[in-house]
């Protein structure tokens, strides 16, 4: 089996690593890896390779980094990228958090593995949710934000829709009350890596079967935006605690306090009536900064001033003492 892999972040690199490990044993080859172009990263904003590119190069795999595969958007450059994909004659395209839209013409390039019930398997995606819940760009963060008790991984057959294709394999995973997007993504990456190897092995043997996604239960996991980071203190504390976890590592929940922008890296909800206006500081000590919400109290235990370091509450308060009655707010649109 000739596999072309398309992915970009660490989540995808975990899946690629599993394929690289399994390839000699299964008789697979990986003639090409697609990933997004190098992007500025770090404090110096220097160009950095994606985790997938770094892993592929470390194993001597050929890498292509097209800006787009859409002929409409990319013109000649996209045509050349598609031709490069055709030239390696893949049997299947495996996609995991690639971050670029794959046109129908690209999905049709692979020769395809045996029909699993939804047509030949030309392109297979590793998606970090239990489809059809949380289709889209940010399934892990949205599951945490919504307070879901569980999520999982779906291996699906790709089609022209947004994560709408038939499902090949699914596996559930409980969301720990302390999970952030970063920690849960890591666990889902390991789960997905095992599932994609199993799915390809079954497909090669003609033993894979596809199941259409249910019509009911469709939700969309829209991309996280920086503007979402500002907490709305009129919301219940339980919801805000979920947002703090969901927004780690990006965009990081924040508020404005004493004319200072403060990031909240860790927090918990206390379910009790504060008797104070939402956003009011009710207490600040080594146990955390307690802030009144629309329902209950949010206790921020790890905080960070703009330009400072992430600190536990005790150390944070040593540099910025807070008093009962201080008010949290979001900036006006003009000041953002």
DSSP 139-155: HHHHHHHTT-SEEEEEE
**Residue 265: which pLDDT band, with cuts at 50, 70 and 90?**
very high
Task: Quote the pLDDT of residue 315.
Answer: 97
Helix (H) or strand (E) holding 160: none
Contact 186/168 with Cβ under 8 angstroms?
no
Q: Residue 183 corresponds to which tokens in the numbers above? A: 């920690």
Residue 194's Cβ-side half-sphere holds a number of Cα atoms within 13 Å equal to 9
- Classified as helix, coil or strand, 281 is strand
Q: List, in order, residues 6 or more apart from 193 with CB less than 8 Å away.
A: 14, 15, 17, 18, 126
Rounded to the nearest 5°, which phi and psi values hold at 266?
Answer: -150, 140
Is a pLDDT exceeding 80 seen at residue 246?
A: yes
Task: Quote the pLDDT of residue 41.
Answer: 82
Task: Quote the pLDDT of residue 336.
Answer: 42
- The average confidence (pLDDT) of the chain is 94
**What does the alpha-carbon distance between residue 311 and residue 199 come to, in Å, rounded to a whole number?**
43
Task: Quote the pLDDT of residue 272.
Answer: 78
Q: What DSSP designation does 91 have? A: S
pTM of the model: 0.94
Task: Quote the pLDDT of residue 45.
Answer: 81
Among the residue ranges 19-28, 34-43, 164-173, 317-326, the one predicted with the least confidence is 34-43
**What does the alpha-carbon distance between residue 49 and residue 55 come to, in Å, rounded to a whole number?**
10
**Residue 264: which pLDDT band, with cuts at 50, 70 and 90?**
very high
Is a pLDDT exceeding 70 seen at residue 335?
A: no
Calculate mean pLDDT across residues 234-252.
97
Tens digits of residue pLDDT in 120-136: 899 999 999 999 999 99
Task: Quote the pLDDT of residue 273.
Answer: 66
- Classified as helix, coil or strand, 46 is strand
From the list 282, 220, 271, 278, the residue with the least C-alpha distance to 241 is 271
Domains along the chain?
A: 2-221 (3.40.50.170), 226-335 (3.10.25.10)
Task: Quote the pLDDT of residue 334.
Answer: 40
Task: Quote the pLDDT of residue 333.
Answer: 47
């Amino acid at each position: 089996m000739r596999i072309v892999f398309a992915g970009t972040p660490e989540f995808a690199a975990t899946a690629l690593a599993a394929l690289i490990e399994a390839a000699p044993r299964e008789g697979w080859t990986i003639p090409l890896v697609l990933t997004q172009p190098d992007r500025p990263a770090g404090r110096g904003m220097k160009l950095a390779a994606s985790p997938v590119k770094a892993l592929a190069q470390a194993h001597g795999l050929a890498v292509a980094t097209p800006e787009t595969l859409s002929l409409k958007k990319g013109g000649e450059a996209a045509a050349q990228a598609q031709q490069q994909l055709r030239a390696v004659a893949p049997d299947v395209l495996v996609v995991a958090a690639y971050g670029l839209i794959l046109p129908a013409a690209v999905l049709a390039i692979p020769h395809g593995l045996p029909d699993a019930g939804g047509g030949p398997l030309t392109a297979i995606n590793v998606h970090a949710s239990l489809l059809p819940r949380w289709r889209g760009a940010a399934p892990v963060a949205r599951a945490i934000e919504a307070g879901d008790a569980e999520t999982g991984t779906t291996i699906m057959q790709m089609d022209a829709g947004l994560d709408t294709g038939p499902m090949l394999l699914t596996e559930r995973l409980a969301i720990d009350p302390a999970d952030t997007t970063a920690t849960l993504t890591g666990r889902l990456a390991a789960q997905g890596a095992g599932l994609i190897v199993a799915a390809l092995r079954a497909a090669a043997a003609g033993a894979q079967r596809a199941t259409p996604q249910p019509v009911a239960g469709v939700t969309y996991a829209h991309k996280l935006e920086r503007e979402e980071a500002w907490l709305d203190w009129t919301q219940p504390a339980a919801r805000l605690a979920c947002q703090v976890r969901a927004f780690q590592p990006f965009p990081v929940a924040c508020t404005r306090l004493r004319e200072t922008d403060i990031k909240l890296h860790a927090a918990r909800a206390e379910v009790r009536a504060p008797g104070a206006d939402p956003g009011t500081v009710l207490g600040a000590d080594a146990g955390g900064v307690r802030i009144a919400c629309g329902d209950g109290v949010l206790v921020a235990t790890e905080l960070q001033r703009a330009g400072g370091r992430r600190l536990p509450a005790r150390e944070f308060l040593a540099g910025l003492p807070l008093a009962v009655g201080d008010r949290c707010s979001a900036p006006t649109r003009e000041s953002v």
